Amino acid sequence: MRPSHLRALPRALALAAAAALLGCPPPDQGQPVSTGLGGQADKIAADRGLTPDDVAAALKTYMPSGRLDDHVMFASSGHAGQVLVIGLPSMRLLRSIAVFTPEPWQGYGVGGKESMEVLAGGASDGKQLTWGDTHHPSLSETNGSYDGQFLFIGDKANARVAVIDLRDFETKQIVKNPLATSDHGGAFVTPDTEWVIEGGQYAAPLGQGTYADIAEYDAKYRGYVTFWKFDRARGRIDVERSFGMELPPYWQDLADAGKGVSDGWIFMNSFNAERATGGVEQGKPPFEAGASQRDMDYLHIINLKKAAEVVARRGVKINGFTTIPLQASIEEGLLFFAPEPKSPHGVDVTPGGEYAVVSGKLDPHVTIYSTKKLFEAAAKGSSNKDPYGVPILDFDAVVEAQVELGLGPLHTQFDDKGYAYTSLFLDTAVARWTLGGPYADKHKTTPWTLVTKTPVQYNIGHLSTVEGDSATPGGGWLVAMNKWSIDRFFTTGPLLPQNFQLVDISAPGEVMPVVYDLPIGVGEPHYAQIIRADRLKPWEVYPEVGWNPMTGKVDPNATAKGKERVERRDGVVEIWSTVVRSHFTPEHVKVRQGDKVIWHLTSLERARDATHGFCIGGYNINLSLEPGEYASFEFVADKPGVYQFYCTEFCSALHLEMVGYLMVEPAGANK
Ligand code: K7E
Ligand code: CUA
């Protein structure tokens, strides 16, 4: 490594790198290590140069073949646009869930009509998008606890939210926010999943497609937050009953829903209270300097319960989307600010809803607000107003405590022992600290105190504990989502994977070791949630043969064995196929060049894991037909020739024989 690299590295990493340069020895090779497990284990440990701590870590995470993980993590994959499903404690990648980006293995967005319609639902102002920037997955909740039914995920780049059904782990809906081009990829649910909160980020004229020069920033640019109404029975967001709120042009960041004693309220950070407008090319301060001048930004405190009542009276339409204007929010008492230090990023509400924990990226403390004090101060009102007339509550009247943790605090999660855990980006560490109030009383801990820090490799963004943002957090495990992995893995060229590190937080006190490194080589995960596996009740196969995953019932075009057929009418060929080990029926399909082809496929399989694929090379089509699934596609056979359609899943001994011929007769050829 060249020394010039060191300057860009965080301190802990630089020290580690310096140690490497100085030639610190690798782990003892061949030294006898007592694992306490006896001869063979001791010999393997010695041969591999493993320390007793390494052996303990291996024993905590190793899953013998066939043993199932007891926790499941849903992680975003950043600008890969998908969700990753990972088992804990083994840290095995179980699968991805295609969301915003076409994914051929799942037959998602590669010709199949059903998934193409989901992606089309997320078109931006008529433009079809083929990727997203997923940041924050959010599991559905009942009474504040994960219920294992649905997963929501936001797309920062395009201001969208997707709904995934956890019975089949498939994306069912993508909604595009008409208010904005981008957001912060936030998706945060209220305790009964009535609302999915999507916060904005970089202010712009409200309503995608609305123009105003940046010179008019203060007057014409606005922030926003959107409350998507979730219809649990239908498993879809109800756009008609959703609404947005206009906010001042600060850069709103993450949000969290109140719960328990703060149910009905929303807490949302913002930064760039300076309203910096950049322009480094004109000699103005770049955003990074302009947006970091002030010591305080504004925590937004929003009365969602009241807003949901007020919206019918005060809402206006922006791009057809119901929105409460800023002035109405002020008049109706829906919106309050509390000062928050300094360029904050995460806001996280404690399990019982008593406190909101804010991390200022440029402040070494976490600041803990009492939600009770916030509501009392809001009820009293304030004569102190921001330039747009929003009341600013008195900092000292609403803050419960501040805890100094270290440099670059970002995000906080909780456990079942009265601890909070905060990621420290610049320190590249996880801090464990004690909550106060009822948590300290219950767990007999010293309130609001830093307990310990564990270094992570390197540059941690989010962290996730077991159900750690819910009303009923578990304990045991924490996953550090590290942006850099520099010296942890084989160098895969200049682009390196990110690093998920599993941290054992089961023991109270100061010992909190890293026990596993999982390279993530398919995208930058931002946030993840960990759920107890027994809360998930996924289908093993689709409930009935011919099941259309998008309608949630047997499709009218599903085909029974023996009912396969090809019908021709003016310029249209429609095919009803069945799929079962190891053949398609029919195997010969003849069309004429220029015909529109409509093809229905029904998997007759009832055996678990007996998935078939169906591809047509040259026509960009690939489906995945899970047991019992119905899928379809349409295309114009505009190229003549002979096209093999074959099964893309190695489904059986005679999988290679699972093939057919699509013959596209040239136009003008004799019939
Ligand atoms: Cu990456 Cu949650 Cu979008 Cu912090 S955010 S790291
Ligand atoms: Cu079906 Cu291979």
Cα of 576 vs centre of ligand 2, distance in Å, is 18
pLDDT in tens, 74-86: 999 999 999 999 9
Structure tokens at 593: 């060049």
Q: Are 142 and 157 members of one domain?
A: yes
Can you give the pLDDT at residue 16? 40
Q: Which of 201, 410, 426, 520 to mutate to test the pocket of ligand 1 (most atoms within 8 A of CB)?
A: 410
Can you give the pLDDT at residue 19? 37
pLDDT interval class at 32 (50, 70, 90): low
Cα of 135 vs centre of ligand 1, distance in Å, is 6
Which CATH number covers residue 304? 2.130.10.10
Q: Are 167 and 195 members of one domain?
A: no
Q: Are 586 and 631 members of one domain?
A: yes
Cα of 551 vs centre of ligand 2, distance in Å, is 25
Peptide bond into 458 cis (omega under 30): yes
- Which of 378-397 are b and which e, b meaning 16 or more Cβ less than 10 Å from the residue's Cβ? beeebeeeeebebbbbebee
Res 22 pLDDT > 90: no
pLDDT interval class at 668 (50, 70, 90): confident
Is there a contact between 408 and 422 (Cβ–Cβ < 8 Å)?
no
Q: How does strand 409-414 pair with strand 321-324?
A: unpaired
Q: Are 287 and 151 members of one domain?
A: no
Q: Measuring CA to CA, how many Å separate 275 from each of 216, 395, 588?
A: 11, 21, 65
Can you give the pLDDT at residue 520? 97
Minimal CA–CA distance to 630: which of 648, 653, 612, 643? 612
Helix (H, G, I), strand (E, B) or coil at 53: helix
| Cα-to-chain-centroid distance, residue 12 | 28
- For 359-365, what is the mean pLDDT? 93
Structure tokens at 375: 């509501």
Minimal CA–CA distance to 321: which of 253, 256, 248, 224? 224
Can you give the pLDDT at residue 36? 67
pLDDT in tens, 251-309: 999 999 999 999 999 999 999 999 999 999 999 999 999 999 999 999 999 999 999 99
- Say how far apart CA 601 and CA 258 lie, in whole Å: 46
- Measured from the CA of 184, which atom of ligand 1 is nearest? 3
Q: Are 144 and 196 members of one domain?
A: no
- Measured from the CA of 524, which atom of ligand 1 is nearest? 1
Minimal CA–CA distance to 161: which of 236, 64, 267, 77? 236
- Say how far apart CA 210 and CA 226 lie, in whole Å: 18
Minimal CA–CA distance to 356: which of 329, 393, 312? 393
Is there a contact between 595 and 637 (Cβ–Cβ < 8 Å)?
yes
Can you give the pLDDT at residue 7? 38
Ligand lying nearest the CA atom of residue 601: 2
Query: Residue with the nearest Cα to atom 3 of ligand 1?
Result: 135
First to last CA, the chain: 69
Res 176 pLDDT > 80: yes
Cα of 427 vs centre of ligand 1, distance in Å, is 17
Q: Are 107 and 201 members of one domain?
A: no
- Residue 421 is assigned to a structural domain of this protein: no
Helix (H, G, I), strand (E, B) or coil at 533: helix
Q: Are 239 and 261 members of one domain?
A: yes
- Measured from the CA of 613, which atom of ligand 2 is nearest? 1
Cα of 46 vs centre of ligand 2, distance in Å, is 46
- Measured from the CA of 579, which atom of ligand 2 is nearest? 1
Helix (H, G, I), strand (E, B) or coil at 207: coil
40: CB partners within 8 A, 6+ apart: none
More confident residue, 497 or 15: 497
Cα of 619 vs centre of ligand 1, distance in Å, is 38
Over the chain, what is the mean pLDDT?
A: 94
pLDDT interval class at 671 (50, 70, 90): low
- Measured from the CA of 648, which atom of ligand 2 is nearest? 2
Tell me which residue range forms the domain holding 560: 547-665
Ligand 1 site, CB within 6 A: 135-136, 184-185, 254, 345, 410-411, 461-462, 526-527
Peptide bond into 3 cis (omega under 30): no
Res 15 pLDDT > 70: no
Q: Which of 345, 424, 428 to mutate to test the pocket of ligand 1 (most atoms within 8 A of CB)?
A: 345
Q: Are 139 and 271 members of one domain?
A: no
Strand partners, 256: 267
- Say how far apart CA 36 and CA 58 lie, in whole Å: 14
- For 420-448, what is the mean pLDDT? 98
In the chain, what's the furthest Cα-to-Cα distance?
A: 89
Dihedral, CA atoms, 343, 345, 347, 348, nearest 10 degrees? -140
Local structure of residue 535 (DSSP, 8 states) = G
Structure tokens at 189: 């649910």
pLDDT in tens, 215-229: 999 999 999 999 999
Can you give the pLDDT at residue 148? 98
Local structure of residue 24 (DSSP, 8 states) = P
Helix (H, G, I), strand (E, B) or coil at 56: helix
Cα of 132 vs centre of ligand 1, distance in Å, is 15
Q: Are 209 and 322 members of one domain?
A: yes
- Residue 657 is assigned to a structural domain of this protein: yes
Query: Residue with the nearest Cα to atom 1 of ligand 2?
Result: 612
Cα of 256 vs centre of ligand 1, distance in Å, is 13
Cα of 521 vs centre of ligand 1, distance in Å, is 18
| Locus of tokens 């829906």 | 334
Strand partners, 643: 662
- Measured from the CA of 78, which atom of ligand 1 is nearest? 1
- Measured from the CA of 647, which atom of ligand 2 is nearest? 2
pTM given for the model: 0.94
Query: Residue with the nearest Cα to atom 1 of ligand 1?
Result: 526
- Residue 527 is assigned to a structural domain of this protein: no
Can you give the pLDDT at residue 39? 78
**Number of structural domains found in the chain:** 4
Structure tokens at 322: 């119901």
Is there a contact between 160 and 122 (Cβ–Cβ < 8 Å)?
yes
- Residue 348 is assigned to a structural domain of this protein: no
Ligand lying nearest the CA atom of residue 627: 2
- Residue 295 is assigned to a structural domain of this protein: yes
Ligand 2 site, CB within 6 A: 582, 612, 647, 649-651, 655, 658
- Residue 422 is assigned to a structural domain of this protein: no
- Measured from the CA of 646, which atom of ligand 2 is nearest? 2
pLDDT in tens, 458-482: 999 999 999 999 999 999 999 999 9
Which CATH number covers residue 581? 2.60.40.420
Which of 384, 399, 414 is the last residue in one of the domains?
399
| Cα-to-chain-centroid distance, residue 86 | 13
Instruction: Report the 10 Å Cβ neighbour count for 128.
Output: 11
Ligand lying nearest the CA atom of residue 658: 2
- Say how far apart CA 352 and CA 83 lie, in whole Å: 28
| Locus of tokens 């109140």 | 258
pLDDT interval class at 434 (50, 70, 90): very high
- Residue 44 is assigned to a structural domain of this protein: yes
- For 179-193, what is the mean pLDDT? 93
pLDDT in tens, 331-355: 999 999 999 998 999 999 999 999 9
Is there a contact between 612 and 554 (Cβ–Cβ < 8 Å)?
no
Q: Are 167 and 282 members of one domain?
A: no
Secondary structure of 78-109 as H, E, C letters: ECCCEEEEEEECCCEEEEEEECCCCEHHHCEC
Res 13 pLDDT > 60: no
Q: Are 189 and 336 members of one domain?
A: yes
Can you give the pLDDT at residue 185? 73
Q: Are 34 and 166 members of one domain?
A: no
- Say how far apart CA 545 and CA 564 lie, in whole Å: 14
**E strand or H helix at 439:** helix 437-443
Res 204 pLDDT > 90: yes
Res 6 pLDDT > 60: no
pLDDT in tens, 556-602: 999 999 999 999 999 999 999 999 999 999 999 999 999 999 999 99
- Measured from the CA of 612, which atom of ligand 2 is nearest? 1
- Residue 225 is assigned to a structural domain of this protein: yes
pLDDT interval class at 395 (50, 70, 90): very high
Strand residue runs (E) in 177-320? 188-189, 195-199, 204-205, 221-231, 236-247, 251-257, 265-271, 297-303, 316-318
Res 35 pLDDT > 80: no
Cα of 650 vs centre of ligand 2, distance in Å, is 5
Res 357 pLDDT > 70: yes
- Phi and psi at residue 636, in whole multiples of 5°? -100, 125
Can you give the pLDDT at residue 38? 76
Query: Residue with the nearest Cα to atom 5 of ligand 1?
Result: 526
